[in-house]
Chains A and B, each alone.
Chain A
Amino acid sequence: MAHEERIDRIVKPNQKGEIILPIAHYALLNSNKKYENYKAISIHGLGSCIAILLIDPIKNLHAMSHVLLPTYDIKDASQIKYPHKYVNTSVEDLVDKLIQRGAKLKNLKAIMIGGSTIFANEFNYIGQQNIKMAREILNSLKIEIFFEEVGGRKGRTIIYNIKDNLIIVKTSKGTITKKIN
């Protein structure tokens, strides 16, 4: 399905100019175009989910997804309606979309946030599995993980400030700010 028609793509920011990324959705930005109304892409409350941000700093292309699980367990991958529900299909799709828009795989950099264990007696550690799968996929594509804030036992909020090219990660221990190139 064409990128413009995808139901899991978030395009419109809310009244505050913020694009809130729900689970299994993605956003794609070409920072060369004017995004006057867009202030940020955010996820308020990353628990075991992981936010993956892929950037081509040379072409100024950014893609971000909010991913739930490490991989799928259905037999036929072509039946997956929401590729951004799973780390492996999400990364593949983000890379695909970025390359379609002129990004070069060798220039891509990645940022990973999230993958915590929120419940006290959690037994399947999905957060940890998400982090592990993300690393494996990114390594196999030779995409450098430029910044990460992952793991632990507390949730995080991520705000990607588009205008200033800043990643803001709020944790229970405070706020971390990272400039992207």
Chain B
Amino acid sequence: MKLEVNLNGANEPIKLTPEQLDSLRELGNIGSGNAVVALSELINKRVEVSLTGIKIIHFWDLNKIFPEPDAEIFGICSNIKGEHNLTLLQIFTKESIINMINIISENSIENINNIEELDDLTKSTISEIGNILAGHYTSSLANLMSIKLIPDVPDLALDTIGAICNSVAANYSKLTDSIIIINTKIKIEELNIDGIICFIPSVETIERIFKILNIK
């Protein structure tokens, strides 16, 4: 099942110049480039990761980029604390996660009804994938800001897009209004996986990012 995403569904609260957009894309590309190497090593298979879109949107518009709010997805949420606060939310279809697990651990899971039913090995595999992706995207942001950003072990959720975005909003609502969305494509051999990576920074962090990228 494809992850239905329409980045144009949400308004662009900040109009980016072509240079600013390029800088943001660079951020996303570096993150995906590094993630490829790490994922390939983890699963010993050919992996390609590419960025198919990047946008800055308002937090409350997050579910506007998903035309199917009742579609069931996996949410992987990583908290990053330290000098700057940031939360990284990754969204994949349930099918994508199942396919990834089956390739990585040579399993043959057909369906997942809830996270509680997963065995520890499967849960930690999902966590590890999330952690690798989170780590590499945040390290590219950390390089941009010349600081260290290390994500905590991710928290998992399996629910509808609406419910997951809703809960992230509640848990991280003190953070900024603006979030950075990266539309990502992961290819593991013949398997195509669409994912969304959202950077949800604190107010101070997004101000710093904007300053570095010259965004008002």
A contact residues vs B (CB 8 Å cutoff): 22-24, 43-49, 68-69, 85, 116-122, 124, 126-127, 153-157, 170, 172
The list of the 8 closest CB pairs from A to B, nearest first, reads A45-B162, A155-B163, A47-B167, A47-B166, A44-B69, A47-B163, A118-B167, A45-B163
**Chain A residues with CB below 8 A from B171, complex form:** 48, 119, 122, 124, 126
| Bound complex: CA A17 to CA B160 (Å) | 22
- Show 10 A/B contacts (Cβ-Cβ < 8 Å), sorted by A: A22-B60, A23-B169, A44-B63, A45-B164, A47-B159, A48-B167, A118-B157, A118-B163, A126-B170, A170-B70
Judging by beta carbons under 8 Å apart, are B159 and A155 in contact?
Answer: yes
- Chain B interface size band reads 20 to 34
Chain A contact residues: helix, strand, loop or mixed: loop
Chain B contact residues: helix, strand, loop or mixed: helix
Judging by beta carbons under 8 Å apart, are A23 and B60 in contact?
Answer: yes
| Bound complex: CA A109 to CA B173 (Å) | 29
State whether the Cβ of B161 lies closer than 8 Å to any Cβ in chain A. Answer: yes
Judging by beta carbons under 8 Å apart, are B164 and A153 in contact?
Answer: no
- B130-181 residues with Cβ-Cβ distance < 8 A to A are 155-157, 159-167, 169-171, 173
| Bound complex: CA A47 to CA B69 (Å) | 12
**Chain A residues with CB below 8 A from B170, complex form:** 47-49, 68-69, 126-127
Judging by beta carbons under 8 Å apart, are A121 and B70 in contact?
Answer: no
- Given contacts A44-B63, A119-B77, A122-B167, 18 further A-B pairs with CB under 8 A are A44-B160, A45-B161, A45-B164, A47-B159, A117-B167, A118-B166, A118-B167, A119-B155, A119-B156, A120-B155, A121-B156, A126-B167, A126-B171, A127-B170, A155-B166, A156-B163, A157-B70, A170-B70
State whether the Cβ of B115 lies closer than 8 Å to any Cβ in chain A. Answer: yes
- B164-203 residues with Cβ-Cβ distance < 8 A to A are 164-167, 169-171, 173
- B66-85 residues with Cβ-Cβ distance < 8 A to A are 69-70, 75, 77
With A44-B69, A126-B170, A157-B70 as contacts: A118 and B60 at CB distance below 8 Å: no
| Bound complex: CA A43 to CA B161 (Å) | 12
- Most A CB within 10 A of own CB, among B70, B116, B156, B159: B159
**Nearest CB to that of A129 among chain B residues?**
B170
State whether the Cβ of B17 lies closer than 8 Å to any Cβ in chain A. Answer: no
State whether the Cβ of B108 lies closer than 8 Å to any Cβ in chain A. Answer: no
| Bound complex: CA A170 to CA B60 (Å) | 22
State whether the Cβ of B44 lies closer than 8 Å to any Cβ in chain A. Answer: no
With A47-B167, A122-B155 as contacts: A155 and B173 at CB distance below 8 Å: no
**Nearest CB to that of B162 among chain A residues?**
A45
